A and B are shown apart, each in its own frame.
Chain A
Amino acid sequence: MPSPNASNAAEDLADVERVLAGDPAAFEGIVRRWQGPLVNMAWRYCRDRARAEEMAQEAFVRAWRNLAQWRRESSFSTWLFAVAANVFRNELKRIPAVSLPLEEIAEPASPASQSAEFELRSRHESVRRAVLALPMPYREPVLLFYFHEMDVGAAARTMGLPEGTVKARLSRARELLRKRFPRLSEEYIAMESAASN
């Protein structure tokens, strides 16, 4: 998802310089370039569209306030994602995204009335929602690993954790999800092929 990364680094830097020189309007360029990634990142944290936009907005405002703290050692996007992750984490501590524990999230049955494609989507959504019920130390590595297109290093930088820690937590998170959805593996192949037909 974080696509504007490399090509817009120079534009990010120029906009930051202008904002720090006293031109708040220059921040609009940053918002336009990064609104997509930040809203999608927030969506992964809460799976609620309206709340995702609110959280992304808060992340931009926090970035605006602390723009002078960006040390140019890391890319602007790395810093922005770290700020956003911090905002989203705190926001979800305040109001959690799901109140159900992982064990209580039902694995969808396979009703004959539903089309194969709809059923497949429903199952995928259940798995994605189950991620939100993981304990926080396992949840965030999963969210950020897939948000960063399965780049452990990027996820680790966003969380400010060593890569080894993130890998270990990812592995444990997968184990928890596998235990929670045992039937998914058996029926998945059949449904996938039915959906593609």
Chain B
Amino acid sequence: MTDERLDRILAGEETLIPSSGFTAAVMGRVREEAAAPAPIPFPWKRILPGIVLGGAGLVWGAVELTRLAIAAARDPQSVALPVWASAMPSMESLEWVALALAVSATSWLVTRRIGGESNLL
């Protein structure tokens, strides 16, 4: 089959006429879209402080760990655990439960507040 023949076959397509209700169907969907409320913007302003704080915490943790690792590599005997790390194992199990509950409650309250203000809840 030559290119010319192929061209004639593929270019000689019959023209389709859209059905009579096509424009109305499209405009129906467009009107629906136009009437729908605008999407709720992501609450960046609210979230940003948390992201910055979390990021700073991660960086601080990474720096601390690196510092400890370097010190441990130099002299394993001289490494003093940071206060928070040494305090952790001595905590009673009740304190752990209380901490977990407090974190959960805070997270729940924050979610309610954000959701309530954006009329989601």
Within A103-130, the residues touching B (CB, 8 Å) are: 124, 127-128
Q: How large is the interface on B (under 10, 10 to 19, 20 to 34, 35 or more residues)?
A: 20 to 34
Given contact pairs A57-B26, A124-B12, A178-B6, enumerate 16 new A-B contacts (beta carbons under 8 Å).
Answer: A31-B23, A35-B18, A36-B16, A36-B17, A36-B18, A53-B19, A56-B22, A64-B30, A127-B9, A131-B10, A146-B13, A174-B3, A177-B1, A181-B1, A184-B5, A188-B5
B93 near A: Cβ within 8 Å? no
CB-CB under 8 A from B33, the residues of chain A are 61, 64-65
What are some 18 contacts across the A-B interface (CB < 8 A)? A1-B15, A24-B34, A31-B22, A31-B27, A36-B16, A49-B16, A53-B19, A57-B25, A60-B26, A60-B29, A65-B33, A127-B9, A128-B9, A150-B11, A178-B1, A181-B1, A184-B1, A184-B5
**Given contacts A64-B33, A174-B3, A185-B5, are A31 and B12 in contact (CB under 8 A)?**
no
Q: A1-B15, A28-B23 are in contact. Are A60 and B9 (CB under 8 A)?
A: no
Q: Pick from A4-12, A39-47, A68-76 the stretch touching chain B.
A: A39-47
Closest to B28 in A: A57
Asked if A52 is at the interface (CB within 8 A of a chain B CB), the reply is yes
Q: Which of the residues A44, A64, A65, A174 comes within 8 Å of B13, measured between beta carbons?
A: A44
- Chain B residues with Cβ under 8 A from A150's Cβ? 7, 11
B6 and A53 contacting across the interface, CB-CB below 8 Å: no
Min CB distance B67 to A, Å, is 49
- Chain B residues contacting A60 (CB-CB under 8 Å) are 26, 29-30
Listed from nearest, the 5 A-B pairs whose CB atoms lie closest are A24-B34, A185-B1, A146-B10, A39-B18, A184-B1
A43 nearest in chain B by CB position:
B16
